[in-house]
Structure 1
Amino acid sequence: MRAALTRYRVIAWIVGVVLILLVVIGMPLKYGFDEPIVVETVGQAHGFLYMLYLVATFDLSRRVDWPLKRMILVMLAGTVPFLSFWAERRVSTLVLAQHAEPAPQPVAG
């Protein structure tokens, strides 16, 4: 489970950064200065990386037994700038809290 969470966290950050580059740099260059090169290159990279994000999210959701609605909402977080960072933090906190090992109880003697 920890490996699946780590994979998810890494790809969530990568997808988030690439999406921000696309929206903050690529879109203004394309529509403001008629320079589509950033959108053409970064857009394709984001598309490929988003597919990896979907796979990582699906893998994690199956390992921690999420309901379908939560899995879909986390998957959609990769399409909104900055939301993947928030979702990654929430997911990490939730998964680690659910799968934390309980502290050993003292033996009464």
Structure 2
Amino acid sequence: MKKYFITTIGRLRLFAILEGISLLGLVFIAVPLKYHFDNPAISRSLGPVHGALFLFFVFNALHVSIERQWKFRETTWKVLVACLIPFGTFYIDSKILRKLEKDES
């Protein structure tokens, strides 16, 4: 767990996981509760949390991209688009970020 706080890739992976969980919570729990059961309470509380995690993920992705000099067409766009798709950040974490972190060690 300590590795997620030491390196920039580790922090990006942590934000990817947290952002992915919050997006899944919104899509599969909060939105159905809001529209099908007329209960917007979870959506009101989870929405801002997801928004903040989304921004942290995007800013960290851009920071890592600049720091590691990623080419936009090769890596950066994939990482940024992943946060818009449910399960996308988990896929990017396993296919790109985990490998980059191993190379860094």
Q: TM-score category by the smaller chain?
A: 0.7 to 0.9
Q: For structure 1, list consecutive stretches of 5 or more residues without a partner in the other structure.
A: 102-109
User: Which runs of structure 2 are paired with 1:1-109 in the superposition (5 Å)?
Assistant: 3-69=7-73, 70-96=75-101, 99=103
Residue 3 of structure 2 corresponds to none
Identity %: 26
Q: For structure 2, list consecutive stretches of 5 or more residues without a partner in the other structure.
A: 1-5
- Scaled by the length of structure 1, what TM-score is found? 0.80
- Is the Cα contact below 8 Å between 1:64 and 1:95 reproduced in 2? no
**Which structure has the greater CA radius of gyration?**
1
Secondary structure, in 3 states, of the residue corresponding to 1:79?
coil
RMSD: 1.8
Distance 2:101 2:56 in 1: 22
- Scaled by the length of structure 2, what TM-score is found? 0.83
- How many residue pairs get aligned? The number is 99
